[in-house]
Amino acid sequence: MANNLRVNKSSLPLIIVYCISTVLVIMGKKQLQQWGVNPTVVIVGNMILFAVSITSLLLYQRAMTHPTTMGFLRNTYSGLFLKLLVCIIAIMIYVVLDREHVNKPAIFTCVFLYFLYTLLEMRSLMQWNKARRNA
């Protein structure tokens, strides 16, 4: 039970960013459209990034507690490649399905969100590891 609480606590910044960014996109829909950004693409991209970031955070946490170097590397690279591949596949699906109306500003907004989630993920992981070592 204590491990689940730590996971929830370490994923809290990701949850907060997801909620805030979704609300901002919904509230600023007209402004985003004026700037040429498709809000639907940003919301779907944000959902995908949130889900894959939570999953990779769990893989990173599992890597930090693994007793062997091989287990650590396997979980770390699994989290990294999972996140990268899911994002690449999502962009490819979007481009194939809507080739004529691909919205580059929305894709770049999602790239910004990717970096934001990655920074928060690493920060949460470092805090989780520090708390785990001090406990």
pLDDT along the chain (135 residues), means of 10: 57 93 96 95 96 90 84 85 93 92 94 93 83 74
- How is residue 40 written in tokens? 């639907």
- How is residue 18 written in tokens? 């997801």
Angle (nearest 5°) at CA 50 between 121 and 92: 115
In contact, 57 and 14? CB cutoff 8 Å? yes
- How is residue 82 written in tokens? 């999972």
pLDDT of residue 124: 84
Q: Could you tell me the maximum CA-CA distance found in the chain, to the nearest angstrom?
A: 55
State residue 36 phi and psi, 5-degree precision. 85, 20
Structure pTM? Answer: 0.86
Could you give the dihedral angle defined by the CA atoms of residues 128, 3, 83 and 17, in that order, rounded to the nearest 10 degrees?
A: -60
pLDDT of residue 8: 65
